[in-house]
Structure 1
Amino acid sequence: MKYVVFIILIFSFNLISTNALSAEITSVKIYGNKRIDNNTIYFYTKHPLTGNITQANIDQIIKNLYSTHLFSKVEVSIENDTQLIIRLKENPVINNIYIKGNKEFNNKDLKDDVLQLKALSVFTKTKLRHDISQLYTLYQSKGKLGVKITYDITDKSNNSIDLTININEGITAKIKTIKFIGNKSFTDYQLKSLLTSKEVKFFKIFSSSTKYLIDRLMIDQANLYNFYATNGFINFKVRSIISEVSDDYSSVNIIFSLEEGNRYKFGTSTIFTDKNFIGNKDIKSHLQKLIQSQQGNVFNITKVNNSISAITSYLNNQGNLFSTAKSEHEIIEKDNIVNVKYIVYTGDHVYINNINIKNNTRTLDSVIRRQLSISEGDVYNSSTVKTSQQNVLNLGFFEDVNVETQKINDNSVDLNFNVKERGTGSFDIGAGFSSMTGLVGKINIKERNILGTGKTFAIKLERSITNFSGAADLITPYFLDSNISLGIGLFYSQQKNQANEQRVLPSDTSVFSSSSMGFSTRLSHNITNNIIGALQYSYKYNHIYDVSRYASILIREQKGKNIDSSIGYSLIYSSIDNMYQPKNGIFAKIEQSLSGIGGTLHYIKTEGSATYLHPILQKINNDIIFKIKSSLGYVFAYNNEGIKIGQRFFIGSNDIRGFSISGIGPRDKITHDALGGNFYFSLINQVDFPIGLPDNLGIKGSLFIDAATLFGIDSEMHNNYDSSKSLRIAIGFGFSWKSPFGPVRIDFGFPIKQEKFDIKYVPRFSPDTGI
């Protein structure tokens, strides 16, 4: 009985305590608020402040006001049984936030993206502790394991402060050793080669890969899983990554603890499809052929993922835009096999509703639309959409072309081509000095998109003391709304004799005067998406006169006038990813012309070239590009005529760096005049790579090996000139720069195989066409 009485007494006491404070409030007084008005405080209490108020009500009011983070101190009491008193101390406002000692990151980025505290916001110790913790995490993720962070608060007027965060970054920890525990099937050496994190070695002392970075370790963990899962270990796990930090935070020993599990082979591979494919044996049969997971082979997660990608891509191209595929793995432990189920959800055919062109402020819609291989109403085909995107990008009018698929309903989508326009006009004016021609002035004006119509117009003028040349070209694509482009060009050039009756002349000095004028017209057509064919006609009037008596006899016999009237064709194949910044693909060209259509010259000229580009070492850097380019040309005369000097090939620095403009090929023994040749071959091998400068500078480095030869003259006077069929070879390095006026480059070539009569020249400045 006494226990019952005791329990009743305790309950009664608690009930009395809870309701001990209860008052009818008729007025409210607030003290201590300077920035925040009373009405705002009333709102933040989230409770009626008049009427019956209990202690529980007061506790809730205090809790609600603290939750706003506007106050560092809140007191609520009742006076005279009818008045509610709220006493507050406001948290200060931050005037400015200063970050000192930071070198690893941009201060603005830290303030915008990391710190919760902002200038002109309310300061709280809770947010400060959070921000300090975030900064520690950020710096340590970048290898700054010994970072020290403190702060100073400076009081200002009107309950405001300045906050200064002091950062002592310390040194970046380097990876001393990398070890593995639990690896039985592969050696430490094999596994280390998979990692982006590398141990400090003498030859890697300046490499960034030796820095201890948390993000990089996460990539390494994924690389290890992919490697093991590609080699049959589907249950592989990285149990833990242990980092042993030195006392001075300068180095780290990393230990990967691995659990390999068993090695499995592929069992059966089965496709399960939804109702859209029921009874469609042809499509299911085709999908089955796309599967790379063949029974009996070692399990390979990459082949599974590639199979899923191939299935999805095929279905997209069939118009099933919203199709998906996934794999499920059934592990049979007793047989060490994995049965793979490919589950395919096809959805319905999707049609293109509208094609919208966006952000083309200058280029006409029609110019863009004629590059599209798709039309409104077509079944959606992802391959055709990608081709259209690349076609628009290849115009060269846009920095970027992004295709957005906007779902209208389950059966239709809108395609939005979002373009970012770039400058298409250029005006170059320059001057220089050449030992051969003296002071040289150049003016180049080009617009590749006249009034947004896609037409190209270019004027080139060059003037020196002895030479003048000018050319104007107009290209009209889709001439008369056809798929044919029309090109028209006019040209004129004049070169004066520089000999002035001197016997001793620079080897590249002109020893005769010449003039040439004419026009050309060209019709081109896209035969396929990758092949362009063209027909052309050219009319040129040539005059060679004022030949120096000290010139080569092979040049003196060229004196006179002639008319070069020729027709020709060309074929171009291109799978280049970007014509203005190529990184991958093939560009090949062959052209042939027949002269003698009403003129005085009779010859056939053939030229061809092929360029291959591909990123190498993609695991290290996708911007390391290998390029190989091969070119050759041959010209021969018919009608028992010889080839005039103006129709021969002259090659040098453009084909083999380290030599002058006409640095190789037949040359007069006495005057050293370049005579040109009827046959040439050249080969360029080049690797382009980043040199560690910021990407926005657009500067890259190159290493190259060039080879070339030029020979053959229609003359029986073989004793009067030097010639050789041997390959000349040069090695060297260069730099390319994506300048505001277009890509340019400088190359330093050094011949390692040459003939005595060849002429060297270093360095070489030139536009960088990329191909």
Structure 2
Amino acid sequence: MNKTFASILIILIISFFTNFGQHIFAQESVISEIVIEGNQRVENETIETYVSIDIGDEFDVNKINETVKNIFSSGFFSDVKVSRRKNTLLIKVVENPIINRISFEGNEDIDDESLYDEIRIAPRSVFTKAKIQDEVNRMITIYRRIGRFDAAVNPKIIILPKNRVDIVFEINEGENTSILSINFVGNENFSDRRLRDIIVTRQTRWYSILTATDRYDPDQLSLDREELRKFYLDHGYADFSVESSVAQLSKDKEGFNIIFSIEEGKKYNIQNVSIENLVQGVDTKDVLEQLPLKNGMTYSVNKVEEAIDELTDIILLQGYPFIVVVPEVQRVENKSLINVNLRVNEAEKIYVSRINIKGNDRTEDQVIRRNMRLAEGDAIVSKLISRSHTVIRNLEFFEKVDIKEVPTGNYGFSDLDIEVVEKPTGELSFGGGFSSTAGGLVNFGIRERNFMGKGQSVNLQARLSGRQQTVSAGFLEPYFYNRDVSLGADIYDDIYDYRESRYVLDKTGLSIRSNFALSEYLNQGVGYILETRNLKPETGASSSVIAEKGKTLLSTLNTSFTYDRLDNRLNPTEGFSASANASLAGIGGDKKYVRIINSYKYYIPYNDKQIIFGLTMDAGIAAGLDQDILLSDRFYLGGNNFRGFEQA
């Protein structure tokens, strides 16, 4: 009995101390406090968001490891240590430095501003070695794009007080990697020389310092492939493909030899052109005759696109904006022929919700908006978006213009996002030369085409030569009171020595002009000129010259009509323009006459615009009103106006 009681007592005692020990151990395994040390800029609350364990939880190795990873992933710290001090979880961190300044040394081909635009780190951002290495790789890639394949970038880190660093990228740009040769394999119908003219990349020549297209650039090589594809598709080779484009570095590593392997395929002619209309109400009868795509002609992707544009315009004029023209091309089996069907489908009805403009830091929004052929609330028509792109680009205010249709989430509505990259619009010109008609000459000019970002133009010009001295200043507001009406004014003084006719004519005047659109391509202009003239005969002058000696006052009212379908006003390669100008003198002043001048210009490209044929014709007539036409108001030919004849 005593033995049994003693055994039970011993078991109870052992059980009590065992449970008590477990309770004490459990209390010691529970986190009662989390302490963070070493942080200077980053708040405790921010670090705690990355901690995967809470007060009251047991110490868990897996959760502690996860906490370390989370804190490291924040990018704020270069070192993280987690330890246990009794029931306290201690987190010690070492913050990454803050970037104080970034600079570049040794860069000449790419300026500092361009490099700043490319890198992603900035002053006051967090420094990490991984970020710096990314920037080194990025700059090396930039240099390779401009042909400098042996460029090297060494980042130098300068430690500053208060946990800050300066970063200096020491750059060795290396030598330009030139293009030694460009060859083609598989071309049977076009020579290597002809295809070299198509692509953007150029072989390095002695004069290549004037261009940047003789440097190896993988992105440019992709553009070359696309240019080749467009060229062949425009010449009937519908099956054309670029099999490969390889750039082989020469043994001396001084340049690349580029080889394009191509498959030309067959040349196709068009057997039949048809229109399939699936939109009720649209009339496509007799439309084929108006399209540039004809049976029997060589298949051309450009001609197909022109036909789509022309057909779209015709249908738009009928009042159907929500259509899309889809080309269907079908090869005729065992023949080098293609059938082209233009299918007119109904398009989804989408309207413009908002027009958003980005990138115009200097140019005002209204300058861009007034050149859009679409407004908020209008039906979205791809043809009008394309035309808007052309008109804005022709302003010559922007290096790049991009218009994108962006869905809004609201059914039936999309935004139009316009992104532009501005370019300098101010011009300062100074030049000199020699002309067989004018002798030695000097030109000086100042011009701003986008004055104060309002799209206005101001200019000051001066010219001095052996026979002419001219000074002029002008101003043009292209959208007077935000209407599609331009208003401009010029003042000028012009002294011209008509040596052959033995007199000098001095003209000083003021002109006011306005121009407005009657349609997309037809414009009308009106203007007024008030001009004083002083004719000074020289020894040996004819009696008609002497009869006009002295000062006269000219007051003329002008109007003009211009129809312009040129592809480019400054450098036309295709299209035509016609103008008619009528002047009436006699509203005040000493002279009374009517003058009419007609001009016509026509340009035809040949051999893919390698050669441009141009024809210019001018015709004019002037009739006096109860008086003879004086010498200074007559038409003059010769010299620059009529080749092969001396100046009149």
Give the corresponding residue for 2:323.
Answer: 323
1:649 aligns with 2:627: no
Q: Secondary structure at the match of 1:84?
A: strand
Note the 1:610-625 alignment, pairs <5 A: 610=599, 612=601
Output the amino acid matched with 1:589: A
* 8 Å Cα contact 2:273/2:293 also seen in 1: no
Q: Secondary structure at the match of 2:124?
A: coil
User: Relative to structure 2, which stretch is displaced further, 223-232 or 332-341?
Assistant: 332-341
Match of 2:84 among 78, 94, 106: 78
CA pair 372-69 structure 1, distance change in 2 beyond 3 A: closer
User: Relative to structure 2, which stretch is displaced further, 71-80 or 20-29?
Assistant: 20-29
Q: Give the Cα–Cα distance (whole angstroms) in 1 for the partners of residues 332 and 272 of structure 2.
A: 11
1:588 aligns with 2:588: no
Note the 1:687-706 alignment, pairs <5 A: none
Output the amino acid matched with 1:26: S
Output the amino acid matched with 2:167: L
Q: Give the Cα–Cα distance (whole angstroms) in 2 for the partners of residues 626 and 21 of structure 1.
A: 97
Give the corresponding residue for 1:108.
Answer: 113
Output the amino acid matched with 2:577: I
Note the 1:239-638 alignment, pairs <5 A: 239-259=243-263, 276-277=279-280, 282-283=283-284, 286=287, 290=291, 292=293, 300-327=300-327, 344-347=344-347, 421-423=454-456, 492-493=532-533, 513-517=549-553, 519-520=555-556, 524=559, 532=560, 572-575=561-564, 583=572, 585-589=576-580, 591=582, 608-610=597-599, 612=601, 629-631=616-618
User: Relative to structure 2, which stretch is displaced further, 250-259 or 330-339?
Assistant: 330-339
Match of 1:93 among 98, 111, 115: 98
Give the corresponding residue for 1:542.
Answer: none
Q: Give the Cα–Cα distance (whole angstroms) in 1 for the partners of residues 462 and 601 of structure 2.
A: 33
CA pair 407-284 structure 1, distance change in 2 beyond 3 A: farther
CA pair 71-259 structure 1, distance change in 2 beyond 3 A: farther
CA pair 141-605 structure 1, distance change in 2 beyond 3 A: same
CA pair 393-61 structure 1, distance change in 2 beyond 3 A: closer
Q: Give the Cα–Cα distance (whole angstroms) in 2 for the partners of residues 431 and 70 of structure 1.
A: 64
Which ranges in structure 2 are unaligned for 5 or more consecutive residues?
1-25, 420-449, 496-503, 517-522
1:126 aligns with 2:130: yes
CA pair 78-234 structure 1, distance change in 2 beyond 3 A: farther
CA pair 151-287 structure 1, distance change in 2 beyond 3 A: same
In percent, how many aligned pairs have the same letter? Answer: 22
Aligned residues: 563
Deviation per CA, 1:409-444, whole angstroms, max 9, x where unpaired? Answer: 988999999996333677x698989999xxx99786
CA pair 625-26 structure 1, distance change in 2 beyond 3 A: farther
1:145 aligns with 2:149: yes
Q: Deviation at 1:346?
A: 1.8
Q: Give the Cα–Cα distance (whole angstroms) in 1 for the partners of residues 211 and 238 of structure 2.
A: 33
Q: Secondary structure at the match of 1:209?
A: coil
* 8 Å Cα contact 1:139/1:169 also seen in 2: yes
Q: Give the Cα–Cα distance (whole angstroms) in 2 for the partners of residues 247 and 52 of structure 1.
A: 66
Q: Deviation at 1:315?
A: 4.0
* 8 Å Cα contact 2:514/2:525 also seen in 1: yes
* 8 Å Cα contact 1:352/1:377 also seen in 2: yes
Q: Secondary structure at the match of 2:66?
A: helix
Output the amino acid matched with 1:199: Q
CA pair 618-173 structure 1, distance change in 2 beyond 3 A: farther
Q: Give the Cα–Cα distance (whole angstroms) in 2 for the partners of residues 355 and 68 of structure 1.
A: 38
Q: Deviation at 1:345?
A: 3.3
Note the 1:688-727 alignment, pairs <5 A: 707=643, 727=644
Note the 1:222-241 alignment, pairs <5 A: 222-230=226-234, 234-241=238-245
Q: Secondary structure at the match of 1:170?
A: coil
Deviation per CA, 1:145-167, whole angstroms, max 9, x where unpaired? Answer: 11112111111112221111122
Q: Deviation at 1:610?
A: 2.0
Q: Deviation at 1:616?
A: 7.1
Q: Deviation at 1:326?
A: 3.8
Output the amino acid matched with 1:38: N
Output the amino acid matched with 2:100: N
Q: Deviation at 1:198?
A: 2.8
Which ranges in structure 1 are unaligned for 5 or more consecutive residues?
1-19, 525-531, 533-571, 658-681, 684-706, 708-726, 729-753, 760-771
Q: Give the Cα–Cα distance (whole angstroms) in 2 for the partners of residues 218 and 375 of structure 1.
A: 36
Output the amino acid matched with 1:52: E
Q: Give the Cα–Cα distance (whole angstroms) in 2 for the partners of residues 244 and 250 of structure 1.
A: 11
User: Relative to structure 2, which stretch is displaced further, 93-102 or 604-613?
Assistant: 604-613
Give the corresponding residue for 2:427.
Answer: none
Q: Secondary structure at the match of 1:161?
A: strand
Q: Give the Cα–Cα distance (whole angstroms) in 1 for the partners of residues 331 and 569 of structure 2.
A: 50
Output the amino acid matched with 2:117: D
* 8 Å Cα contact 2:509/2:532 also seen in 1: yes
Q: Give the Cα–Cα distance (whole angstroms) in 1 for the partners of residues 392 and 338 of structure 2.
A: 45
Give the corresponding residue for 2:432.
Answer: none
Q: Secondary structure at the match of 2:29?
A: strand
Q: Give the Cα–Cα distance (whole angstroms) in 1 for the partners of residues 616 and 274 of structure 2.
A: 46
Q: Deviation at 1:25?
A: 0.4
Q: Secondary structure at the match of 2:120?
A: coil
Q: Secondary structure at the match of 2:213?
A: helix
TM-score (norm 2): 0.65
* 8 Å Cα contact 1:316/1:381 also seen in 2: no
Q: Give the Cα–Cα distance (whole angstroms) in 1 for the partners of residues 157 and 133 of structure 2.
A: 13
Q: Secondary structure at the match of 1:53?
A: coil
* 8 Å Cα contact 2:80/2:94 also seen in 1: yes
Output the amino acid matched with 1:347: A
CA pair 322-32 structure 1, distance change in 2 beyond 3 A: farther
Q: Deviation at 1:507?
A: 14
* 8 Å Cα contact 2:354/2:416 also seen in 1: yes
Output the amino acid matched with 2:33: S
Deviation per CA, 1:687-736, whole angstroms, max 9, x where unpaired? Answer: xxxxxxxxxxxxxxxxxxxx2xxxxxxxxxxxxxxxxxxx51xxxxxxxx
Deviation per CA, 1:224-246, whole angstroms, max 9, x where unpaired? Answer: 22344445554544333222113
* 8 Å Cα contact 1:58/1:76 also seen in 2: yes
Q: Give the Cα–Cα distance (whole angstroms) in 2 for the partners of residues 379 and 119 of structure 1.
A: 46
CA pair 95-307 structure 1, distance change in 2 beyond 3 A: same
CA pair 231-77 structure 1, distance change in 2 beyond 3 A: same
CA pair 158-593 structure 1, distance change in 2 beyond 3 A: closer
Give the corresponding residue for 1:25.
Answer: 31
RMSD: 6.1
